[in-house]
Structure 1
Amino acid sequence: MMKNTNKWFALAIILVAPLLSVIDVYIVNMALPAIKEQYLTSNSNTELVISSYLVGYCVFLVTGGRAGDFFGRKKMYTWGMFFFTLTSALCGWSLTIYALIAFRFFQGVSAAIMIPQTLTMIQLYFSEAKERNMAFGFFGITLGIASIMGQYLGGFFAGNAFIEESWRLIFFINVPLGIIAVIFSIIFLQESKQNNESKFDLTGVWLLVTALGSLIYSLTKIPEDGLSTENTILLAIAGVFFFIFWKNQHAKTKKEKAPLLNTTLFDIKSFNFVLLVVLFFFGAHNSYLLICAVQFQHKLGINALVSSEYFTFNGIGFLISSMIAFKLLNKMGIKLLIAGCILMIISLVMQTLTLHDKAFISYIPVYLLIYGLGQGALLPSILNYALKKIPSQHAGLAGGVYSTVQQFSSALGISVIGSVFFYTLKQGMDGYFIAMSMAVVYLVLVALLLYRLSLFSDTSLSVETIKNDK
């Protein structure tokens, strides 16, 4: 257990990591046209600016979580933040599109190193259940605010000529915050107990990185290339290596040989169902934001700056409902999350039916406000339900699994819904209506999964014992 001194100040330092890492998932969306124009490059290369970050982020999250268990959470957080800041600066200075893509990949890897540590440190700093729930709520709020800020700042910097090639500020903005976070983490954060009794599972790392890398890269290429021979081979490689990885980790778990992934985590039904909620929720949410960026600018003729300003209404709704959700969560439980999901569905349905026509542009703030109200009731509490049955010694690993599924769902949602969106547009069909309808179906599945989760007997905030690593 970590000392309680200045724990809320420590939380503020810790939350810089999810704030910056999630902003950088979304901040590029609105700036893509400017980046494409700057480098005179193809659509596939500009999309790789997004997907290369997701690949690096998603592939190394579980490894990053386990590394914190072995080498110390503070140490991995600090080094992760340092390299995230460095790679952000390198992204901003990139002279070619290929350099930008490469630095974005390593920026994602840096994020994967620091993010799992934040979840574990929250568990360790906040041992009392009520305070821990509030701290995780702030984590969830940070994720929501970051996604909205990313959309806004991307359009803000791309749409204003603060400097020549102003879009580069979307990366430089990370540098001062990152430097402050590194310095403060060294001075104020306390190191956790390290696991020096067993070896780090390098075989597991190699198997998982190969499997996830093949899967995520193929998913990010499918919207542009379809199920090409290369993508089909990569999907097959991913399937084989996932199978080998699971067998390897299950065997090591049974023999208590400190696996990369303790497979007993998946014996907790509530954890499995929350992962499914995360899969469909973020699949819908991230593809929705991408579709909005395209629809607003290309179909409705709204420029990047005005488009980004519209998303402030999403942020207002999110902040209002997340604050209210703090007070109502203990009373309403999962019913509150379901209500939030229903609000998001209502917003998407209204957008789907009307935003093919410029006459309804004035309704966009209302639609985004409703979406934000629903998002704020749902998003901050998902993480609580994911980790509430996980003991603190496995929090880093569970957080890594949670975050991996979150980022994987982003790539999968963009691949599936995004592919349908762009393909139907090319065929002269109403791609916006079709893709948004798919996002609505995803959210309906989220509501149904939440209802099923409410029927479990293990949805209280008690802790279930999982066999410790030896």
Structure 2
Amino acid sequence: MSETAQVQPDPRRWKALAFIAIAQLMVVLDSTIVNIALPSAQADLGISDGNRQWVITGYALAFGGLLLFGGRIADLWGRKRAFTIGLIGFAGASALGGAAVNEAMLLGSRALQGAFGALLAPAALSLLAVMFTESRERAKAFGIYGAIAGGGGAVGLILGGFLTEYLDWRWTFFVNIPFAVVAATGAFLVIREPAGTRNGNSLDIPGVVLATLGLVSLVYGFTRAESDGWTASVTIGLFVAAVVLLATFALVESKVRSPLLPLRVVADRNRGGVYMSLGLAIIAMFGLFLFLTYYLQAIKGYSPVQTGFAFLPMIAGMVIGSTQIGARLMTRVPPRLLMAPGFLLAAVGMLILTQMAIDSSYVGLVLPAQILLGLGMGTAFMPAMSLATYGVQPRDAGVASAMVNTSQQVGGAIGIALLNTIAASAATAWATSHAAEAGTLGKIAFANQTAVHGYATAIWWAVGILILAAVIVITLVNTGHQGGDPITSSGEDGQEDVPIPVFAH
């Protein structure tokens, strides 16, 4: 390999990482920060109970539906440009949401946030993929990124609770503006995208339409399943439409010259294993955030701020697992030996939470469970984030990154719909079979006991889902540790790409 084939790493890449991390934190925390503020916003703007879900769903649909499109735009137009435009657009949408004077304005701002987030998130991850190619540096960079990706949702709960309780719900939107300004300024000044990493092909318009409509149908299908039931005609219709659209998308991608999602990206067994296991882990995690928030506030009487701070041990565990365990071992052991044990450790933490009761103590039950969950997820997320883009052709880094975010977004939608439905069904069944106890326990105590039984039942399912994620990792992820030296790769068009890492075996 010639000396001229090597691309020297940008000396400012660590400064760039700081600004990429700020942007990623903003996107991740925004998936939960508005949840706590929603009751206040609903009352202030007169949003009906039937429409309040669209404050969450509008963001999820735009974000999940446009991720592949956003990832490919980053590959085509440049990741730095996509990153900066995404930040500016997200800040503008946040300002619009904070200044909302009616329901339509708020819902529109959330959809715009999702659209610009779909451009920003894959651009951020793909920038890391092309800027950090040396194995040890890559481990550190993705350790930081993995900790943010895993713990950002819990940070959103803390920040959302604080802003809502002490300021105003509008600040859950306005708080994004300084994040975006700092990150965009830093991107303009210090981020330098390596030369030769763009994809110069044209945009696959049929693929964009099919992927967007298919993902929107899938995410919305799970949302409607939660509200209308799994057997409702609208729910079934959305799932059928999603299957048809995504199957057609796969067929189109195998035929066109410049596909939106090159099938080589997802056909690799290691990346496929990462996408599936990450999606399953997010199903379990989003369900946990939902039920633990309900448990702490409705059953234990915590305030929004207290609830947010109650999640701090999980965040600390994720940071330690990602930066001190995952990052240190990623260059020495195969990813499956970090990911599978990480998911299993998180499953043990979930298992502890299945024992929750009305009178359970935070220190005796919730605290140890959160520590184990955080350590396990942090250890697993970090190598998973890296492996999802490791060895991919640089010109495909954006769309490979988008697949990571897509698996997380779809996993989150499934987690909320599936586990909430399971909890509701279990609660109803328990209340029916224990109706005679209602008079003995009292109305409030009986309602609380019913709810806790539902939460515990759903968390049992989350335990099984995390075990399944570990099994998928053990079965599909078979690569060696990520400690190899960069090599050059030739693209399909015969042009030499910049160096990319290979796995050591």
- Structure 2 segments unaligned to the other structure (5+ residues): 1-6, 432-449, 495-505
Q: Do structure 1's residue 206 and structure 2's residue 221 form an aligned pair?
A: no
Q: Which amino acid aligns with 1:271?
A: R
| Residue 92 (structure 2) pairs with residue 93 (structure 1) | no
| Candidates 471, 474, 484, aligned match of 1:451 | 474
The residue number in structure 1 matching 2:174 is 172
Partner of 1:358: 359
Q: Secondary structure at the match of 1:152?
A: helix
In 1, the alpha carbon distance for the partners of 2:418 and 2:322 equals 29
1:436 aligned partner: 459
1:386 shift after superposition: 1.8
- 2:339 aligns to what? 337
TM-score by length of 2: 0.85
Q: Is residue 2:34 matched to residue 1:11?
A: no
> Offset at 1:149?
0.8
Contact 1:54–1:108 at 8 Å: present in 2 too?
yes
Indicate conservation of the 8 Å contact 1:265/1:466, yes or no.
Answer: no
CA distance in 2, matches of 1:344, 1:144: 12
1:116 partnered with 2:122: yes
User: 2:248 aligns to what?
Assistant: 244
Q: Take 1:194 and 1:274, find their aligned partners in 2: how far apart are those partners?
A: 23
- 1:290 Cα shift? 1.1
Distance 1:308 1:196 in 2: 42
- Quote the Cα distance in structure 2 between the aligned partners of 1:48 and 1:167: 16
SS where residue 45 of structure 1 aligns? coil
Change in Cα spacing, 1:362 to 1:119, as seen in structure 2 (3 Å) is: closer
The alpha carbon displacement at 1:224 in A equals 1.0
State the AA in 1 paired with 2:212.
V
Counterpart of 2:447? none
State the secondary structure of the residue aligned to 1:330: coil
Give the 5 Å matches for 1:119-158: 119-158=125-164
The farther-off stretch of 338-347 and 211-220 is 338-347
Amino acid at match of 2:492: N
Gaps of 5+ in 1: none
Which residue in the other structure is 2:313 paired with?
313
Alignment partner of 1:53 out of 39, 45, 59: 59
- Decide whether aligned partners of structure 1 residues 398 and 461 sit closer, same or farther in structure 2, where only a CA change above 3 A counts: farther
For the residues of structure 2 that align with 1:44 and 1:287, how far apart are their CA atoms? 22
Equivalence for 2:266: 266
- Counterpart-to-counterpart distance in 2, 1:98 and 1:294: 28
Q: Is the 8 A contact 1:214 1:235 kept in 2?
A: yes
Superposition pairs of residues 373-388 of structure 1, within 5 angstroms: 373-388=375-390
- Alpha-carbon offset, residue 283 of structure 1: 0.8
Shift of 1:84: 0.4
Provide the residue aligned with 1:62 in structure 2: 68
After alignment, is 418-427 or 216-225 more displaced? 418-427
Maintained 8 Å contact 1:348/1:436: yes
- Counterpart Cα distance in 1 of 2:321 and 2:196: 37
Runs (4+) of structure 1 exceeding 6 A deviation are none
* Stretch of structure 1 that moved more, 171-180 or 428-437: 428-437
The higher radius of gyration belongs to 2
Partner Cα distance (1:373, 1:63) in 2: 33
Q: TM-score, normalised by structure 1?
A: 0.91
Deviation at 1:277, TM superposition (A): 0.6
State the Cα deviation string for residues 67-115 of structure 1 (Å, max 9, x = none). 1121111111111110001111111122223322221111011011011
Q: CA deviation at 1:467?
A: 5.0
Asked whether 1:77 is paired with 2:83, we answer yes
Name the SS for the 2:104 alignment partner: helix
| Residues 407-434 of structure 1: CA deviation (Å, up to 9, x unaligned) | 1111111111122223444553521121
**SS where residue 15 of structure 1 aligns?**
helix
Deviates more, 1:54-63 or 1:150-159: 150-159
Amino acid at match of 2:264: T
Residue 404 (structure 1) aligned to one of 389, 403, 406: 406
Separation of aligned partners in 1, 2:132 and 2:488: 18
Aligned residues: 460
Give the SS at the match of 1:28. helix
User: In the alignment, residue 350 of structure 2 is paired with which amino acid?
Assistant: L
- Choose 6-15 or 365-374, whichever is displaced more: 365-374
CA drift of 1:250 comes to 0.5
For 1:461 and 1:35, the matched residues in 2 are separated by 49
Distance 1:16 1:323 in 2: 17
Match among 17, 32, 35 for residue 29 of structure 1: 35
Take 1:145 and 1:417, find their aligned partners in 2: how far apart are those partners?
A: 20
- Contact 1:388 1:461 survives alignment (8 Å): no
Query: Which secondary structure state, in structure 1, belongs to the residue aligned with residue 355 of structure 2?
Result: helix
Secondary structure of the residue aligned to 2:311 is helix
Counterpart-to-counterpart distance in 2, 1:366 and 1:157: 28
Q: CA RMSD in A?
A: 2.3
